[in-house]
Amino acid sequence: MAQPQTRIVRVVSLAFVAAAFLAGCAGSGTSPFVGIWGDTSDAKQPSLEMKSDGSATGTDGCNRLVGSWKEDGKTVSFGGFSSTRMACERVDPWLSNAATAKIQEDGKLAVFGQGGDQIGTLAAGK
């Protein structure tokens, strides 16, 4: 009777290994949001780097931004940004007010404020 029981244990073990392997392959895709958005070569322009661990860093064109993001289908929600508080003339700090974002058909990241209005866009970085 030990033979059939050993065979069942082997089959079940193999099934678990196969399932774990397939689950690892299924989760290996990268989010289209991960990467650099905006022009990082010009410190006076807004830019944002969204990392695969859910963190985000960037600048509003004057102040440094640090925050988090979470993907929900074709949209991301930002967990709010902490920023430095430097006073810069003629800089619109719109990016620091980001609540959500989505990728438009033209490949740009459309950024929306708390009220749902679009507050700006960022081109995909290089």
pLDDT at 42 over 70: yes
Strand-strand pairing, 118-122 and 75-83: unpaired
3-class secondary structure, 119: strand
Of residues 23 and 57, more confidence is placed in 57
Of residues 13 and 97, more confidence is placed in 97
pTM score: 0.74
Of residues 38 and 27, more confidence is placed in 38
Distance CA 100, CA 79 (A): 9
3-class secondary structure, 32: coil
Residue 7 has what pLDDT?
54
* pLDDT, tens digit, 9 for 90 and up, residues 85-119: 888 888 889 999 999 999 999 999 999 999 999 99
6-10, 39-43, 74-78: least confident range: 6-10
Asked whether the beta carbons of 98 and 113 are under 8 A apart, the reply is yes
CA 32 to chain centre: 8
* pLDDT, tens digit, 9 for 90 and up, residues 54-90: 999 999 999 999 999 999 999 999 998 999 988 888 8
Token pair in block for residue 118: 């679009």
